[in-house]
Amino acid sequence: MIAAQIQTAALATLMLAFVLVNANQGNEAPSWGKPPRWPPGGPHRKPNIIIFNADDMGWGDFSSYGHPTQEWGPVDDMAYEGMRFTNFYSASSLCSPSRAALMTGRLPIRIGVWGDGRVFWPNSVEGLPRYEVTIAEALKEVGYVTGLVGKWHLGVNAYSPSDGEHMPHHHGFDYVGTNLPLSNAWQCDEEHWHMKNGPFPLFCYLYKNATILQQPYSHYKMSEAFVNDATGFMRDAQQQRKPFFLYYGTAQTHADMFSSNEGFRGSSKRGRYGDNVREMAWTVGAIMDEVKRMEEDFNTLAIFTNDNGPLVQICNEGGDAGILKGGKMNYWEGGVRVPGIFRWPGHIKAGITTDVVASQMDIFPTLMTIVGGSVPDDRIIDGQDISSTLFKWLPEPQPEPTSKLLNRNHPGNEPRMLVWYCPDTTDPITVRYGSHKFHFVTQTVWTKEANFNEPGRCGDGGFPLQQNVQCSWCSLDQPEECVTQHDPPLMFNLDQDPNEAYPLDVSLPHHKAVLDEMMPKLQAFQASLIIPPPLMTPRDDAVWPCCDGSFPDCGCNYQYLGPVPPPGDASPSSKEFLDMMIDPENDNYIL
C-alpha cells in the first residue's frame, strides 16, 4: 500500500515537472541573476560587455601573471574567476595603432594608423577613419547601448566644425564620459617628481563628450570620475532594459605617479608603480562590484587587456614584462604580449589558463559570434573568432566555431600567424607563426640594468633621472646601433625560449622547414595589403585643443603656443616649444 502511494506520488511529480518544463519553453530571457545556458538553445538575452583596456602595463605586472610582490587585486580576481591567456597579443607596441586594431579587428596598417608621429598627438589632423566600423557601431546594430570612459587616443581635431571630428561620439558611442584623448603622464606632473619645470597643460586635458573639462588633470580625481561615469552609464542602460557595451580605457598606469587618489599612495610594497597598479585595479573592481549589485554578473562578459608592453625605459617607475624581453615601442615579446582575461560566470569556466595564441583583434569577431551580430563583409578582418576556445571547457556540447583558431595546440590546423608592422614603416618587422617567432628587424633593448649602469639614466632605487626612449624607432634609416636587419630572419621557439634569448640556427633542416613554410604565407599576406596614406603623419597646430576657462583649471593652450596659427602654418613659438619637448637630452621629452 505504502509502496503504491510512493509510486503514485513520484509519477505525479514527474508529470508536474514535465508540464513546468514545457510551460517555460520559449521564454525570451532568463531571470536577471540566473546564469543562462551557453551555447544558446533558443532565444536568450544578449550579454552586457565590458572591455577594460589598460595602458602601458607589463605582461608580468599582476600577481596572477607571476609578479612576486604586486598585491593581489580585482584584476587577479577576474583571472581566477575566468580564463587567463598566456599568449595574448596587441597589434602594436604603441597606443594609437594598438587601440585602433582592437576597435576594428583590423591591423593598424590596413586602417592607415601609421606614420611619422607613430601615435596621434594633440595637433594631429587625422584620427581613426570614420568609414572604419568599430565594435561599438557593430553592437549598436544588434540593440546595444554603448559607452566609453577613460583613454581614447584615436584622434581629436578640435578645430573641426564637427567639434572633435575623431572623438568617440563619432565612432558609435552613445555615451562618452570623462576621457583622455591621449595620455602623457610626464607632462602633467604637478608634484614635480619627474619634471622640474612642469606641468605642461598643453598635453594634459580631459574631455567629457567633446568638451574640455579641466587641465592639468593630475589633481583631478580621475579614478573616481571614471568609476562614477562608468557605473552611471551601466545603471542607465539597465533602466532601459537594453544590453550595454562599456569600453573602459583605464588611465596610463604610470600617469598617476603623482597619484590621483591619495588613498593609494604608499599602499604597495612595490613602491609608486605598485600603488598605481592597485589604483587602476581598484577602478576595475568598483565597476565589477556595481555589475554584481545590479544582479547582472551572470549576464556580463568582462575582458581585461592592455594596449602594449611596459615603459621599461623609465626604470623602476614603469611596468614589468616578467620573463619577456623588451617593452613599449619595440617588438620583442615584452612589447606586444599582454594580459588577456575573459570572465563570464556560467559561460566561461573559472580558473582556466590557456596557451592558445590569440590577439586583441580577435575580440571583435568573437563578440559578434556571441551576440549574433556580424563583422563587415566588405573588408579584411584580421581577427579570428575564438569563442570555441572560451567555451570549450564547459560540459555541454559546443557548436562548431565559425572560424577555426589556428594554433599549434590543435592537431590538423595550420599554425596561427600574427604579423606586426612598426608604425613608421610598411614592411613586416616581426611574425609569430605557431610556436615560433621571426624577427626581420630588431631594436636594441634598453634593459633596466643597462639604464642603471649608464650614468644619468636611473638613480637611487631605480628612479629615472631622465626619460630614455632612445632606439624606439624601427625604420632602417635609424642609427645602426639601434636597428638591425636580419636576412634570414632571427628565429626563436617561444615555447622553449619565451625570453627570446637563444636564436635558432635556420640552416638546420628542421628549422629551415618552418621558415620555408611560413615565408610563402607571409608573402601572400603582404599581397593582400592595400596600405592607405599614413594618417599619423599630418599635424597642424591649428587643430590643437583649447578651452575658454569656464571650467576649473582650464585655460587656453595657446598661451604656450602663441597666437592661434592659421591651418597649415605653425607659429614660431609653437615650433620652439615643440623642439624643446622632443629634445632627447631634455628631461621633458614626450613619449
pLDDT, tens only, 326-369: 999 999 999 999 999 999 999 999 999 999 999 999 999 999 99
The confidence band for 577, taking pLDDT boundaries of 50, 70 and 90, is very low
For the four alpha carbons of 227, 544, 257 and 53, in that order, the dihedral sign comes to positive
Q: What is the pLDDT of residue 260?
A: 56
Q: Are residues 375 and 424 in the same domain?
A: no
Of the residues 411, 433, 456, the one at which a domain ends:
411
Judge whether 463 and 154 are in contact, CB under 8 Å: no
Cell of 422: 612598426
3-state SS of 338-364? EEEEEECCCCCCCCEEEEEEEEHHHHH
Place of cell 639614466: 457
Quick one: cell of 212?
A: 574640455
Letter for the amino acid at 225?
Answer: A
pLDDT at 458: 77
On the CB side of 106, CA atoms within 13 Å amount to: 26
Residue 39 lies in a domain: no
Residue 491's domain comprises 420-527
Into how many domains does the chain fold?
2
Give the relative orientation of helices 95-104 and 363-371 as an angle to the nearest 10 degrees.
20
Instruction: Identify the CA nearest to 178 among candidates 135, 143, 222, 138.
Output: 222
Instruction: Assess whether pLDDT exceeds 60 at residue 267.
Output: yes
Distance CA 13, CA 5 (A): 12
Would 499 be classed as within a structural domain? yes
Q: List the catalytic residue out of 95, 188, 204, 547.
A: 95
pLDDT mean across residues, the chain: 79
* Helices marked H in 294-420: 333-336, 363-371, 387-391
Name 54's bridge partners. Answer: 306
Flag the least confident range among 147-156, 172-181, 220-229.
220-229
Q: How many other CB atoms sit within 10 Å of the CB of residue 6?
A: 10
pLDDT on residue 396: 53
The one-letter amino acid at 344:
W
Cell digits for 28? 525570451
3-state DSSP assignment of residue 532: coil
On the question of pLDDT at 551 being above 50, the answer is no
77 part of a folded domain: yes
- The tens digit of pLDDT for each residue in 371-402 reads 999 999 999 999 999 999 999 876 654 444 33
Do both 275 and 328 map to the same domain? yes
Please give the pLDDT value at position 72.
97
Query: How would DSSP label each residue in 507-567?
Result: TSHHHHHHHHHHHHHHHHHHHT------TTS-B-GGG-----S-STT---THHHH-SPPPT
CA distance 578 to 572: 10
Residues 403 and 437 in one domain: no
Q: 564 in a domain, yes or no? A: no
Q: Closest Cα to residue 430, out of 58, 89, 57?
A: 89
Residues 182 and 268 in one domain: yes
Query: What's the rounded Cα separation, in Å, for the pair 291 and 340?
Result: 20
Q: Is 196 a member of any domain?
A: yes
User: Which of 397, 325, 422, 334 lies closest to 109, judged by CA?
Assistant: 422
In the three-class reduction of DSSP (H, G, I as helix; E, B as strand; rest coil), residue 256 is classed as helix
CB count within 10 Å of CB 548 equals: 9
17 found inside a domain: no
Pick the most confident of 294-308, 314-328, 464-478: 294-308
404/382 Cα distance (integer angstroms):
13
Query: Which pTM value belongs to this model?
Result: 0.84
Domain termination residue (choose one: 510, 527, 544): 527
In this prediction, residue 232 carries a pLDDT of 97
Q: Are residues 180 and 243 in the same domain?
A: yes
Parallel, antiparallel, or unpaired: how do β-strands 337-343 and 428-433 relate?
unpaired
Give the model's confidence band at 32: pLDDT under 50 very low, under 70 low, under 90 confident, else very high.
very low
Position 184 scores a pLDDT of: 56
Spatial neighbors of 237 by CB under 8 A, at least 6 apart, are 48, 145, 147, 243, 244
Is the residue at 580 inside a domain?
no
In a domain, 357, yes or no: yes
The residue-averaged pLDDT of 77-95 equals 97
Same domain, 397 and 438: no
Environment class of residue 129 by beta-carbon count within 10 Å: exposed (0-12), middle (13-18) or buried (19+)? middle
CATH of the domain at 472: 3.30.1120.10
Among residues 44, 67, 153, 347, the one annotated as catalytic is 153
Environment class of residue 449 by beta-carbon count within 10 Å: exposed (0-12), middle (13-18) or buried (19+)?
exposed
| Known catalytic residue at 44 | no
Of the residues 411, 445, 471, the one at which a domain ends: 411
Least confident of 158-162, 375-379, 429-433, 483-487: 158-162
CB atoms within 10 A of CB 7: 10
Q: Are 250 and 170 part of one and the same domain?
A: yes
Specify whether 186 is located in the same domain as 273: yes
Q: What is the pLDDT of residue 572?
A: 37
Look up residue 533 and give its DSSP letter.
-
Has 95 been annotated as catalytic? yes
The CATH number assigned to the domain holding 142 equals 3.40.720.10
pLDDT at 178: 84
498-521 per-position pLDDT tens digit: 999 999 999 999 999 999 999 999
Looking at the fold, whether 372 and 234 belong to one and the same domain comes out as yes
Q: Report pLDDT digits (tens) over 87-120.
A: 999 999 999 999 999 999 999 999 999 998 888 8
Query: Are 391 and 484 within one domain?
Result: no
Stated length of the chain: 591
Pairing state between β 206-208 and 175-180: antiparallel
342 and 233 assigned to the same domain:
yes
- Mark whether 443 and 395 lie in a shared domain: no
Report the percentage of the chain scoring pLDDT > 90.
Answer: 50
Helical (H) or strand (E) element with 49: strand 48-54
User: Cell triple for residue 523?
Assistant: 608573402
CB 181 within 8 A of CB 127: no
> In this structure, what are the phi and psi dihedrals at residue 344, rounded to the nearest 5 degrees?
-155, 90
Cβ atoms 218, 204 nearer than 8 A: yes
Q: Are 51 and 321 in contact (CB under 8 A)?
A: no
